[in-house]
Amino acid sequence: MTAAIIDGKAYAEALRARVAAAVPAFVEATGRKPGLAVVLVGEDPASQVYVRSKGKAMVAAGLESFEHKLPDTTTQEELSALVERLNADEAVDGILVQLPLPKGVDEKAVISTIDPAKDVDGFHVINAGRLAVGEEALVPCTPLGCLMLLRDRLGDLSGLDAVVVGRSNIVGKPMAQLLLQENCTVTVAHSRTRDLPGVVRRADIVVAAVGRPQMIRGDWLKPGATVIDVGINRIQIGEGKTRLVGDVEFESASEVAGAITPVPGGVGPMTIAVLLRNTLVAAHARAGLPAPEGL
């Protein structure tokens, strides 16, 4: 079998276009654009790249982007004071504090300072709790993007066996909650799971979010399974040469799976598109407007 490629890049472009199309009605109703504040602390090169692309995507979709760059000597108190100011700022609908934060800054303490109504990352315990009990919540961008791709590919997910490999607060746990809401039978596997290949082989849906390059191989998969690869790992392929690979060994997996996301071009582009979506949704909720349709 040769798996169908799940084109996250195309889906993300279409989602960004739907967000952009909904912005003028918001501006008409409120007299302002939806706004996202992105806070970057320190000089982490990967984070700088992410923050730049988030800003660009915001502006391209007609949203307002406020960037706050702070030195890596910033204290927790200074960072929390900035978040408090953004909480109170009427022009700011979403607040994203780019992770990881420098050593010595308590990420949990900073995230807990963010107004849950502006928590477009969905990292605040209030949003995590709302998601867990099935209430309206802002949901972390990457797992929500994965769910959109799964729904687009499979339609109704009810009754399917889903295995999420990885139990992070950012991807694994919220992904499991979302799949439960879709009536999947969900298993969360992790580094201590016994017989991981055997567990993965039961799955109709595999979401790989472990951060280990090419760990999940084709012979671990049930034929026809739908594979969502969240991993983005840079590996050395020769003298000074590197390549981006996922947590799934693409070549062998694509011979067994029914459909698979590539790396790059699968889940990656979805994260920013969903961030735009979450910002627009948060802006509507704050303005007392009904959520825009089709997002």
How is residue 133 written in tokens?
Answer: 């009990």
Q: Indicate the residue among 160 and 207 with the shorter CB distance to ligand GUN.
A: 207
Length of the chain: 295
Minimum CB–partner distance for residue 191 and ligand GUN (Å): 20
Task: Rule CB under 6 A: say whether 111 interacts with ligand GUN.
Answer: no
Per-residue CA distances from 26 to 22, 141, 229 (Å): 7, 22, 34
Residue 280 corresponds to which amino acid? L
> Which of 93, 115, 119, 121: binder of ligand GUN (CB under 6 A)?
121
Q: 95 pairs with which residues across the strands?
A: 37
Q: 235 pairs with which residues across the strands?
A: 243
How is residue 178 written in tokens?
Answer: 């979302």
Q: Indicate the residue among 110 and 253 with the shorter CB distance to ligand GUN.
A: 110
Q: Indicate the residue among 39 and 248 with the shorter CB distance to ligand GUN.
A: 39
Active-site residue (options: 93, 115, 119, 121): 121
Phi first, then psi, for residue 70 (nearest 5°) are -120, 150
Rounded to 5°, angle at Cα 170 from 10 and 210: 80
Catalytic residue list contains 98 = yes
Q: Are 255 and 2 in contact (CB under 8 A)?
A: yes
Catalytic residue list contains 54 = yes
Tell me the per-residue interface mask from 77 to 106 with ligand GUN, x by CB under 6 A, - otherwise: -------------------xxxx-------
The DSSP 8-state label assigned to residue 238 in this structure reads: E
What residues have CB less than 8 Å from 92, skipping those under 6 apart? 35, 36, 37, 66, 86, 118
Active-site residue (options: 98, 118, 229, 247): 98
C-alpha–C-alpha distance, residues 179 and 148, integer Å = 11
Q: In what order do the strands lie in the sheet with 94-97?
A: 64-70, 35-41, 94-97
Minimum CB–partner distance for residue 36 and ligand GUN (Å): 11
Catalytic residue list contains 121 = yes
What residues have CB less than 8 Å from 88, skipping those under 6 apart? none
What residues have CB less than 8 Å from 35, skipping those under 6 apart? 63, 64, 65, 66, 91, 92, 93, 94, 279, 283
Minimum CB–partner distance for residue 142 and ligand GUN (Å): 6
Instruction: Give residues 270-289 in contact with ligand GUN (rule: CB under 6 A).
Output: 271
Size of the site for ligand GUN (CB under 6 A): 8
Minimum CB–partner distance for residue 290 and ligand GUN (Å): 27
Q: Indicate the residue among 21 and 264 with the shorter CB distance to ligand GUN.
A: 264
Tell me the per-residue interface mask from 134 to 173 with ligand GUN, x by CB under 6 A, - otherwise: -------xx-------------------------------
Minimum CB–partner distance for residue 240 and ligand GUN (Å): 26
Q: Indicate the residue among 142 and 254 with the shorter CB distance to ligand GUN.
A: 142
Q: Indicate the residue among 74 and 98 with the shorter CB distance to ligand GUN.
A: 98
Residues that bind ligand GUN (CB under 6 A): 96-99, 121, 141-142, 271
- What residues act catalytically? 54, 98, 121
